[in-house]
Amino acid sequence: MSGLRILVPVKRVIDYAVKPRVNKAQTAVETAGVKHSMNPFDELSIEESVRIRERKSHPQGVADIIAFTAGPPKSADILRTAMAMGADRSIHVETKDGEEIEPLGIAKLLKAVVEKEKIDLVVLGKQSIDDDSGQTGQMLAGLLGWSQATQASKVSFEGDKGVIVDGEVDGGVQKVKGTLPMIITTDLRLNEPRYASLPNIMKAKKKKIEKITAADLGVDVRSRLKTLKVTEPAPRQGGGKVADVDGMISKLKELGAL
């Protein structure tokens, strides 16, 4: 092996701090004119990949970090961000505005890219904060038959092939040892993503974004799920305030919670 080749899939989503609104037709969440950013978990993936390079965590070093996205033309912005954070180049599978490829389709696209680019390690976010499915990494691992370590809070290498990952599980942490090539999905605890500096943002403009289509990769990304409707959740009525602790206790008793 001559240096790790890392693939980092990223997704453009509505910024995490924005409260999403359902559109009038109840077909989707309103996205026009809403602030978008890189999915927060994907920032962690980029950061971790760059750290593996900077800290020389793997004995052979890192040969290439490729950011990938499948999304509308504007997704190129987050590929620039990824490259400003340290990714070497990008691949963009461009979709039409409003068209969203499901996790299975994304996993198939990624599989094709993994094979084409001879990738050793794919670092993905554990979920995108719009669709909240949390499937893509595991699906990709399944399609490739690779080791998977999900919800990683710590990643270290052992020799050429071994990867030790602490992953968040219900009730605590589980440590597994995977074998390269493998798939890791990131949890919030993994690291603190850096801010891209202005010089790095300028440099990123010169880095390459390769545009391809699903058809170029020979992948059928037709949807299996049809969204029948999207609605606002039932609103919750704040019950007002009480003056003191006694008031709280009596109100809780009244509501049958105590």
Footprint (CB under 8 A) of another protein, residues 54-83 = none
Residue ranges in 158-197 that form contacts with another protein under rule CB under 8 A? 164, 168-179, 182, 187-189
- In terms of CB distance, is 172 or 199 closer to another protein? 172
Is residue 25 involved in binding another protein (CB under 8 A)?
no
Q: Is 115 helix (H, G, I), strand (E, B) or coil?
A: helix
Instruction: Give the C-alpha separation, 22 to 161, whole Å.
Output: 46
Instruction: Give the C-alpha separation, 173 to 150, whole Å.
Output: 11
Among the listed residues 61, 74, 133, 203, the single contact to another protein using CB under 8 A: 133
Among the listed residues 25, 32, 198, 225, the single contact to another protein using CB under 8 A: 225
**Could you tell me if 243 and 251 are in contact, meaning their C-beta atoms sit under 8 angstroms apart?**
no
Q: Per-residue x/- mask for another protein, residues 101 to 120, rule CB under 8 A?
A: -xxx--x-------------
Question: Segment contacting another protein (CB under 8 A): 58-66, 77-85, 194-202, 246-254?
Answer: 246-254
Residue with tokens 């880095």: 207
- In terms of CB distance, is 88 or 131 closer to another protein? 131
Is residue 132 involved in binding another protein (CB under 8 A)?
yes
Q: How many CA atoms lie within 13 A of 87 on its CB side?
A: 29
C-alpha pair distances (Å), 85 with each of 208, 214, 228: 14, 26, 38
Which amino acid makes up residue 130? D
